[in-house]
Amino acid sequence: MRAGLPFFFLIHLVRQRLSLYSLVLAGISWGLLLLGALARVQALPMLAGWPRWGVIAAQACFVFFIFLNQRAQPDPLQGYHFLGLLRRLVHGPGLLAALALGLGLIERSVSAGAPVGGSALLAVVYTVNLGLFVAFLARTNYAWRSLILFKSTPRLQREWLWFEILLSGTLMLQLLTWHPPVIVSTAAFTALGLFGAYLGTNQKWVAYLTKAQKWQAVIYEVLLLLGLLVFVQYFRVTQFDPLLLAPEPQGAFLVLTAFFAAFYSAMGLLVTFFNLPTAQVQEQRRTEILNIQRLTQIIQRGQSQAEIYKTLLATTVETVQADAAWLDVPTEVLAGDAATMECYFNVTQHEAARLRELLAGARLGAENFVDNNLTAKPELAELATRYRSLALLPLRSLQHHYGTLYVLKHIPYGFDPEDVSVLRSFADQTVLSLENLTLANLALLNQRTQEELKIASEVQDSLIPKKLPTDDWFEISTHSLAAKEVGGDFYDFLLLPGRRLAVLIGDVSGKGITAAFHMAQMKGIFHALMQGNPLAKNERDRFPVPSRFMMQANTALAHCLERSSFITSSLYIIDYEQGGFVFARAGHCHTLYYHALREEVFYFQSTGLGLGIIRNEGYEKHINNQFYDYGPGDVMVIYTDGIVEARGAGQEEYGEDRLKQRLEECYYQESDAIKQFIMNDLNSFTIGQPIHDDQTLLVIKFKAVQPEPTA
Amino acid sequence: MKVTAQPSADSLLLLLDGELDASSAVLLDTEFNKPDLLGYRKVLVDCAKLSYISSAGLGVFISHLQRLQDNNVKLVFFNMQEKVFNVFEILGLDSLMTIVPTQAEAAAA
């Protein structure tokens, strides 16, 4: 470990600076190569003894370091910029090399005329060109590596590594004095060439180019091939030049890399070229994907329905390149938006109506419908004069129909299965977004309804008397609780002239808003009838007796109460001066009473039909008055069925018997205490159970006779 | 709540089973709304298994009462549990509708 540390440090250092070191070493070996070349042409006498292996070694080192340097460069392919890579390849080393080469050629033609010293110049130019050629190859090959390894599998990466190792092997082989038999070397050479060719087939990147980009790629590849060709031609000619006696640039490595570079360019060229016709289809697929994304994004921002429809139409037209399209949206879906919505593309509303008629005649189902050859359908012949392909997509969720999308094309077979599935997914996406929007709107509406209910609840609360009548001969306590925001229970009091008190209680069948309306109505009837009749002969006759009140209320309600609804009610008129009360019970709960003198608790047993059950004069027979004399200390408990029908944990009802028992236990208390005692018992009975019905409880206690107030 | 209708020559027997509340009232109402109901002389309602009746349940009978009377169809309840009868009685319906103890009496009514 300790011995290995400096070694690892060295490796780390070399890796970090590999690019620089390899460049320096390449420069040195190129210098050596230049000297060797000059020695070969005997340009410098002092270099006469320069050994041949030195030249070969320098050349091999130079090639090795240049390739190493390229390998150490950052990946030339940035993201998906394939064209950038090709352009840099052509503009950079390619162009430079070609220029330098051109200069070299000119140089050569000049020196051809003047042999003296020409060979030295030639050697220099040759070495420069060799350097450029190697740099060009290195750059090209590593650019190709990036393209080959684009989206590659680990296996391909391993194969490429082996290719590099084998190629450098051929480079090292040059340094050996031993040469394998020709048949072996030829076989190995061919095998390696084929390996390169095999790697050259990896041209996945071409698929990512648009049509225009493909054309550019073709041009760049042609230019690269030309550059390569010029180099090859130069070396082919130069190597036989008697003046130079070139130092064998045709080493297997260079030939192989040149072959590989050329093959890859040619292959890329062909693949790109033959991909040109399909480029449009591929682009269209990409547009489809982008459009689906766009549509999805629109959903996420909660836009209006009209906007969603508009996007669907625009997206559809763009994606499948429709010649005409329109959207049929049911009027009930769009409500107010319809007028402002433009749902026709390249077709007038009138034309669409005509086409719709034609299609209705063809009796298409409610499912997706695609006809790629409209001429074949005689009933659609009129349509076929202008359009040859039709796709029809219903926008439907499980519950709703959001419309139908019609797409038309002039060409036959305009909709392939992919188009249809893309359109389908557009349609589904649209339905989804419309559903979402509906749900969002519904939630808003619900919220508003809740607000309105709250207001209704407040209004109803104001209908319940807050200020209880007071006098020295009685005391009243009340309790009321609605099961929902608004309820159907009601009660009211009115002090009548002559020390009389009218008490009304009632219960509208059903719960909620409807019940609340009728409850308010009953209150109105009560106050109207209890205003008194000014034409009455005497004071007592001014106000209707309870049975009369019930008859009149029944008649009034007959016109507005729905058939299955009814109201139960009791009206008591208590007369202090007479020391008694009269009441009528219209189907309402029995009155619980404590008789102080007899020390007895009982329910009044009386008959009487609920209001709204018989809606004619016949009601009269079903209601009657009951008179009773009260004494001080008597307690009257009036309630609605929400009290006695309240349910306990075992679903059993609270019941009249239990209520009666409670009063037997608390009659001697003040009315407020009695009410509290009963409510506490009821609440402990129903604990944990939801309230099913409105609960109302009134307790009236008659007090001991007070002396007449002196008026 | 279960409503079973058993038609015979001149009468329709309705068996009510369970609690007749707002939700099951709809069920019973459809039974009463069937047009052939008016073709019978009598509609017998077996309340033996009717354990509870809410105001909505009563509303069904009340709303059809007049129509049945107008068409001379007699509505007869029998086998009614005391608790349920109590509800009818408090509302005063016992004076309006025929409620008898047994099926035999209902058939004779």
Are B59 and A622 in contact (CB < 8 Å)?
Answer: no
Query: Which residues of chain A neighbour B82 with C-beta distances below 8 Å?
Result: none
Domain harbouring B95, CATH code = 3.30.750.24
User: Which residue is closest to B21 within chain A, CA to CA?
Assistant: A510
Give the N- to C-terminal CA distance of chain A in Å, as an integer: 120
Are B55 and A587 in contact (CB < 8 Å)?
Answer: no
Are A568 and B91 in contact (CB < 8 Å)?
Answer: yes
Strand partners, A681: none
pLDDT in tens, A260-315: 888 888 888 888 888 787 777 777 777 777 877 777 776 566 567 787 888 888 88
Q: How close does chain A come to B80, measured CA to CA in Å?
A: 18
Query: Which residues of chain B neighbour A584 with C-beta distances below 8 Å?
Result: none
ipTM confidence score: 0.92
Instruction: Look up residue A647 and give its DSSP letter.
Output: B
Q: Does pTM surpass 0.90? A: no
Closest Cα partner for A460 from A487, A480, A493?
A487
User: Which residue is closest to A615 within chain B, CA to CA?
Assistant: B66
**Residue A401 — φ and ψ, nearest 5°?**
-110, 120
Instruction: Look up residue B79 and give its DSSP letter.
Output: S
Q: How close does chain B come to A499, measured CA to CA in Å?
A: 31
Are B60 and A564 in contact (CB < 8 Å)?
Answer: yes
Are B22 and A589 in contact (CB < 8 Å)?
Answer: no
Q: Are strands A592-595 and A600-603 parallel, antiparallel or unpaired?
A: antiparallel
Closest Cα partner for A678 from A693, A698, A705, A708?
A698
The torsion of the CA quartet A523, A526, A529, A534, rounded to 10 degrees, works out to -100
Q: Considering CB atoms only, which of A566, A607, A653 is closest to B62?
A: A566
Question: Which residue bears the tokens 């110049």?
Answer: A121
Residue ranges in chain A whose pLDDT is less than 70: 1-6, 42-49, 93, 96-97, 107-108, 110-119, 177-179, 239-251, 298-303, 333-342, 362-366, 540, 705-711
Half-sphere exposure of residue A469: CA atoms within 13 angstroms, side-chain side = 21
Query: Which residues of chain B neighbour A607 with C-beta distances below 8 Å?
Result: 92, 95
**How distant, in Å, are the alpha carbons of B4, B9, B94, B105 from that of B47?**
11, 21, 14, 14
Are B92 and A613 in contact (CB < 8 Å)?
Answer: yes
Are B92 and A586 in contact (CB < 8 Å)?
Answer: yes
Q: Which two tokens stand for residue A430?
A: 């649209």
* Mean pLDDT across B66-93: 92
Closest Cα partner for A667 from A604, A593, A590?
A593
Query: Which residues of chain A neighbour B26 with C-beta distances below 8 Å?
Result: none
In whole angstroms, give the CA distance from residue A507 to residue A593: 20
Q: Which two tokens stand for residue A122?
A: 């030639």
Are B96 and A610 in contact (CB < 8 Å)?
Answer: no
Closest Cα partner for A263 from A185, A206, A194?
A194
* Radius of gyration for the alpha carbons in chain B, expressed in angstroms and rounded: 12
What's chain B's average pLDDT? 90
Q: How close does chain A come to B104, measured CA to CA in Å?
A: 28
Angle at A51 between CA A48 and CA A57, to 5 degrees: 135
Query: Which residues of chain B neighbour A608 with C-beta distances below 8 Å?
Result: 92
Q: Which of B33, B90, B94, B96 to mutate to test the interface with A (most CBs of A within 10 A)?
A: B90
Q: What is the pLDDT at residue B84? A: 93
Interface of B with A (CB under 8 A): 22, 29, 55-56, 58-60, 62-63, 65-66, 83, 90-93, 95-96
Q: Considering CB atoms only, which of B22, B65, B95 is closest to A607?
A: B95
- Cβ atoms within 10 Å of A153's Cβ, excluding its own: 10
Closest Cα partner for B83 from B57, B33, B47?
B47
Q: How close does chain B come to A315, measured CA to CA in Å?
A: 48
Are A613 and B59 in contact (CB < 8 Å)?
Answer: no
Q: Tell me the domain boundaries of chain A.
A: 4-276, 298-441, 467-702
Interface of A with B (CB under 8 A): 507, 509-510, 563-566, 568, 586-590, 607-610, 612-615, 622, 653
Q: What is the pLDDT at residue A657? A: 94
Q: What residue type is B34 in one-letter code? A: K
Query: Which residues of chain A neighbour B92 with C-beta distances below 8 Å?
Result: 586-587, 607-610, 613, 622
Q: What is the pLDDT at residue A706? A: 57
Angle at A702 between CA A696 and CA A708, to 5 degrees: 135
Q: What is the pLDDT at residue A112? A: 61
Q: Which helix (H) or strand (E) holds B6?
A: strand B2-7
User: Which residue is closest to A586 within chain B, CA to CA?
Assistant: B91
Are A609 and B95 in contact (CB < 8 Å)?
Answer: yes
User: Which residue is closest to A563 within chain B, CA to CA?
Assistant: B63
Are B92 and A590 in contact (CB < 8 Å)?
Answer: no
Query: Which residues of chain A neighbour B66 with C-beta distances below 8 Å?
Result: 615
Q: How close does chain B come to A691, measured CA to CA in Å?
A: 14
Are B56 and A566 in contact (CB < 8 Å)?
Answer: no
Are A609 and B55 in contact (CB < 8 Å)?
Answer: no
Query: Which residues of chain B neighbour A589 with C-beta distances below 8 Å?
Result: 90
Q: Which helix (H) or strand (E) holds A433?
A: helix A417-463
Q: Which of B55, B83, B88, B93 to mutate to test the interface with A (most CBs of A within 10 A)?
A: B55
How many domains does chain B contain in total?
1
For domain A467-702, the CATH class is alpha beta
- Domain extent, residue B36, equals 2-108
Answer yes or no: are the C-beta atoms of A571 and A506 closer than 8 Å.
Answer: no
DSSP A446-515: HHHHHHHHHHHHHHHHHHS-SS---BTTEEEEEEEE-SSSS-SEEEEEEEETTTEEEEEEEEESS-HHHH
Q: What is the pLDDT at residue A49? A: 67
Q: Which of A489, A509, A607, A626 to mutate to test the interface with B (most CBs of B within 10 A)?
A: A509
Q: What is the pLDDT at residue A120? A: 74
In whole angstroms, give the CA distance from residue A602 to residue A614: 30
Instruction: Look up residue A241 and give its DSSP letter.
Output: -
Q: Establish, for the pair of chains A and B, how many residue pairs have beta carbons separated by less than 8 Å.
A: 57
pLDDT in tens, B94-106: 988 999 999 998 8
Are B22 and A568 in contact (CB < 8 Å)?
Answer: no
Query: Which residues of chain A neighbour B90 with C-beta distances below 8 Å?
Result: 568, 587-590
Q: Considering CB atoms only, which of A507, A586, A613 is closest to B96?
A: A613
Are A510 and B90 in contact (CB < 8 Å)?
Answer: no
Q: What is the pLDDT at residue A340? A: 53
Query: Which residues of chain A neighbour B63 with C-beta distances below 8 Å?
Result: 563-564
CATH number, domain A298-441, options 3.90.1150.10, 3.20.20.370, 3.30.450.40, 3.40.50.11540: 3.30.450.40
Query: Which residues of chain A neighbour B61 with C-beta distances below 8 Å?
Result: none
Q: Considering CB atoms only, which of B59, B93, B96 is closest to A564?
A: B59
